[in-house]
Amino acid sequence: MKKQINTNITPISAPAVVISVGEGEKANLITLAWVGRVVSNPPVMSISIRPSRHSYSLIEELSEFVINIPFSEQMREMDYCGTRTGKKTNKWEDLNLTKHDSTKVKVPMVKEFPINIECKVINRIEHGTHVIYFGEVLAVNVDEELLKKNRLDPEMQDQIAYVNGKYYSLNKNPLNTHGFSNKE
């Protein structure tokens, strides 16, 4: 028997990532879970931000963002950026995080986070509580020691998944490889 639950609860794993927005002194950090890859070619990511967030005016101003992907050792930084507002505090300073120049956008990336995806906003949709931004991926920066043959080494992979208010580690061996069911 299936039971239906509140449609506001969509029990699907989401990434817990920290987005940088704004440039120079104004640059801010915001944790987001409503994030995903939405187009293969050209690569496009979507992120959703409530207009009440301090980060909203910054992304509106520059139309650029960087997706900084924490591993589980940066879980506290990730949670902090999602529970404090840049209106009241400087999250970079609070957390001792370093602004590192991005290569294709003015928004800085977080040096201490292992993966940084530079994006340029190509479209935006206002829908309900959030504004959805579509960002074309201009550059993907990865700490070298995490790579094997220029791809993320699965054994080094330690991203955080967010499901119904809880953080989960993905630090496990992959279950299988894309397309494995075709080879049975």
Residues that bind ligand FMN (CB under 6 A): 16, 28, 30-34, 48-50, 53-55, 79, 82-87, 162
Residue 35 or residue 105: which is nearer to ligand FMN going by CB? 35
φ, ψ dihedrals at 28, nearest 5°: -135, 165
Residue 13 or residue 103: which is nearer to ligand FMN going by CB? 13
Residue 16 or residue 107: which is nearer to ligand FMN going by CB? 16
Output the smallest distance, CB 32 to ligand FMN, in A. 4
Output the smallest distance, CB 181 to ligand FMN, in A. 31
In sequence order, the 6+-apart residues with CB closer than 8 A to the CB of 90 are: none
Output the smallest distance, CB 162 to ligand FMN, in A. 5
Q: Are strands 151-152 and 147-148 parallel, antiparallel or unpaired?
A: antiparallel
Output the smallest distance, CB 176 to ligand FMN, in A. 27
Residue 32 or residue 105: which is nearer to ligand FMN going by CB? 32
